[in-house]
Amino acid sequence: MELEEKPKYGEPRKYDPTFKGPLQNRGCTDIVCCILFIVAILAYFAVGILAWSQGDPRKVIYPTDSRGQFCGKKPYLFYFNIMKCASPMVLLEFQCPTTQNFQCVNDKQSSHRNATVVMEARQVVMKIFEDYTQSWYWILLCCTALFSILSPTCLLHLYHLQCVHQCVCCWLSGIFHCYMEYAALKGEAGANVTLQELGFQTDFSVYLQIRQTWLAFMIILAIVDVIIILLLIFLRKRICIAIALIREASKAIGHVMSALFFPLFTFFLLAVVIAYWAVTAVYPLNKLPTQTCSLSVNYSTSPEKAECPDSQCLFAFYGGETAYHKYLIWLQFYNVFLFFWCANFVTALGQMTLAGAFASYYWAFVKPDDIPKCPLFSSLGRSLRYHTGTLAFGSFILSAIQIIRVLLEYLDHKLKGAHNKCTKFLLCCLKCCFWCLEKFIKFLNRNAYIMTAIYGKNFCSAARDAFFLLMRNMIRVAVLDKVTDFLLFLGKLLIVGLVGVFAFFFFSGRVKAFENTAPSLHYYWVPIITVAIGSYLIAHGFFSVYSMCVDTLFLCFLEDLERNDGSPERPYLMPESLQKVLKKKNKNEPAQ
C-alpha cells in the first residue's frame, strides 16, 4: 500500500458554500502572549513611575560636579567637559587642561570669522521664521487641498495604463525642457561654474543659472524614464494586473471611507508611545548621591588611610551606587525594547483592522449590499477582543530582531576605530543578514495578520497558511507584489511632484496670475520645501491604506482562484477588471 504524498506547500483551499468573508464566530488566540504583553505593559508603567519619582531630567541637560550639584550655582566650580570621558589627571592641580596660556593672532581672526558665521546663521534663521509667519496660511491650504487629490475617485482615474504612458511622456518633456535650458545657458557669464565651486546658497534661483544643475536634472530624468520604459516593456501583463488591483482598492476604499482616516488613529497611538518612551528615557535614575572619599594625590599617606588601613579610594560614577543605579542600564534596555514592542503592536493593530475591513468588501457577493455595516470598527473590535495575543506575538518577534539590529549598530559605533578587517566584515555580514530578516518578518507578519483577520487563527497557523498560499502562487507573487509597490510609489511621487510644482510657481511668482496673491518672502524655497515634505507625509499615510488594501485583496484574489472555478455553483468573486486581465469569466455570464 503506497502512502499518498502530501503537497509541499499544503492543500489548496476547497470550496465552502458557507464562507462569506471574515468569520464572526471565533475564539481568542495566543492567550499566553496576550498575558505576557499585559504584564510587560504593567512593568513598563512601573519603570516609568520609578524614573519619574527618582530621576531628574536636568541631569541630561546641565553638567554636574562630583557631588552631583549643578554647575553654575557657585562662582568657583570646576566645569567638566561632558563631551569627553573624565580623567583623574585633570584634577591633580585643579586647573583647566590647557596646553598653552596665550592665543595667537590667527586664533583671534578665526574667532571673529566664527562669530560672523554665527551672526549670519542667526539672520538666516530669523528670515526663515518671518517667511513661515507670512506663508503658513498658504502652506496649510496646499496640504488641505491634497486631501481632495488623494480621494479614491481621483486615484481611480489616476491608475490607467494610458496614465502610465502619459507619465512617460511627461518625463520626456521634462528631459527636453532641461536640455533647452542647458543649451540656452551656453556662453552665458558664470554659467559654467560647478556646484562644488558655488557651494550652498540660500537663494535657490542661483542654481538655475548654472548649466551643471540642468545637466544633473536631465540625467536623473533620463535614468528614471529608461527604467519606466523597460518596466513597461517586460512587465506589461503584471502591470495590468497591478493596476486592476489598485483600481479595485480604490473602489474598496470608496465603500469604506473611514479607512482613509484610520492612519490618524494609528499616528496618535504611535505619538503616545514615542512620548512615553522619550520622557522615561530622559529621566535618568541618578538622583540619590552617595558619599565617596575625597581625591588626593597619594591616598596611601592620607589621614583617611591611617584611620582605616583596609579602606580604598574607588571612583563611583556621578549620582551614586544605589540599587537603582546598578540596574539603570537594564531598565533603559527594557525601555527601548518595550518601545519597539508597543510601536510594532500599534502598527500591527492598524494592519489587522484594515485587513478585516477590506476582506469584508472582497468576499461580499453583491457589492455594496452584502458589505456589513461599519466594517472598520467591527474589524477593530475583533482584533482587540480576540487577537491581542496574536498581535503581541508577531510584534514581539519583530521587536527582538530590531533590538538586535540596534545592538549591532552600537557595536559598529564602538568598533569604528578598530583596524581588524575580519571583525568589520563579520559585523557587516550580521547587519546585512538581520536587515534582510527584518524585511522578511515584516512581510510574513503582514500576511499573517490578513489571514488572522479573515479566519481567526493564531499567529503560527495564520503565518503558515499565508506562506503556503503565496508559495503555491509564487509566479504571480514574485513580480506582482513589487510591481504594485512600485506603482504606488510612482503615484506618491507624482502627487507630491504636482503639489511641489504648483507651490514653486505660486511662491516664486513665476506666474503673473499669482503675483499679487503670493506673499512677499525672503526665501521662497522655505514654504516650497515645507509643502513638499508635508504632502509626502500625508500621501504616505493615505498610500499606506492603499498598500494594505492591495495586499488584502491580493490574498483574497489568490484564495478566490483556489476556491472557485467560475461555474454557476462556484462563481468568482473577483471584479470583472481582474477577470478580463486573467482571461477568466464566470460561466453563467455571456462571453464578451
For 47-64, what is each residue's pLDDT tens digit?
888 877 776 666 666 666
Higher pLDDT, 508 or 296: 508
**Does residue 1 form part of some domain?**
no
Q: Does pLDDT of 354 surpass 90?
A: yes
**Does residue 587 form part of some domain?**
no
What is the model's pLDDT at position 42?
A: 95
Range of the structural domain that residue 134 is part of? 31-55+111-149+235-288+328-582
Residues 139 and 172 in one domain: no
Confidence of residue 287 (pLDDT cuts 50, 70, 90): very low
What is the model's pLDDT at position 227?
A: 83
Q: Name the 3-class secondary structure at 289.
A: coil
Q: For 219-228, 284-293, 389-398, which range has the lowest pLDDT when averaged over its residues?
A: 284-293
Per DSSP, the residues of 418-451 read ---HHHHHHHHHHHHHHHHHHHHHHHHHHHHHHH
Give the CA count within 13 Å in the CB-facing half-sphere of 211: 14
What is the model's pLDDT at position 458?
A: 92
For 374-410, what is each residue's pLDDT tens digit?
899 999 999 999 999 999 999 999 999 999 999 999 8
**Does residue 588 form part of some domain?**
no
Element (H, E) at 323: helix 323-326
d(CA 501, CA 496): 9
Residues 202 and 335 in one domain: no
Q: Name the 3-class secondary structure at 357.
A: helix
- Of 189, 205, 234, the last residue of a domain is 234
* Amino acid letter, residue 542: F
Cell of 509: 511668482
Taken in order 301, 306, 308, 309, the sign of the CA dihedral is positive
Q: Look at residues 495, 506, 497, 516 and name the one whose alpha carbon lies nearest to residue 141.
A: 506
Contact call for residues 503 and 528 (beta carbons, < 8 A): yes
What is the model's pLDDT at position 292?
A: 44
For 124-137, what is each residue's pLDDT tens digit?
677 777 767 767 76
Q: Which residues pair with 495 in a beta bridge?
A: none
**Does residue 10 form part of some domain?**
no
**Does residue 561 form part of some domain?**
yes
Highest mean pLDDT out of 42-46, 226-230, 412-416: 42-46
Q: For 231-235, 344-348, 440-444, which range has the lowest pLDDT when averaged over its residues?
A: 231-235
Q: What is the mean pLDDT of residues 224-251?
A: 81
> Residue 416 burial (CB < 10 Å; 0-12/13-18/19+)?
exposed
Confidence of residue 429 (pLDDT cuts 50, 70, 90): very high
Q: Look at residues 136, 138, 132 and name the one whose alpha carbon lies nearest to residue 506.
A: 138
Residues 282 and 222 in one domain: no
Q: Look at residues 246, 264, 271 and name the one whose alpha carbon lies nearest to residue 147.
A: 264
Q: Look at residues 138, 90, 130 and name the one whose alpha carbon lies nearest to residue 518.
A: 138
What is the model's pLDDT at position 473?
A: 81
Residues 479 and 467 in one domain: yes
Residues 368 and 434 in one domain: yes
Q: Does pLDDT of 108 surpass 70?
A: no
Residues 214 and 123 in one domain: no
| Count of the separate structural domains present in the chain | 2
Alpha carbon distances (Å) from 230 to 224, 226, 234, 475: 10, 6, 6, 20
What is the model's pLDDT at position 353?
A: 95
**Does residue 160 form part of some domain?**
yes
Confidence of residue 297 (pLDDT cuts 50, 70, 90): very low
What is the model's pLDDT at position 295?
A: 46
- Of 215, 234, 253, the last residue of a domain is 234
Residues 194 and 47 in one domain: no
Percent of the chain with pLDDT over 90: 22
Contact call for residues 554 and 248 (beta carbons, < 8 A): no
Residues 119 and 188 in one domain: no
> Residue 350 burial (CB < 10 Å; 0-12/13-18/19+)?
buried
Predicted structure pTM score: 0.75
Q: Does pLDDT of 530 surpass 60?
A: yes
Mean of all residue pLDDT scores within the chain: 76
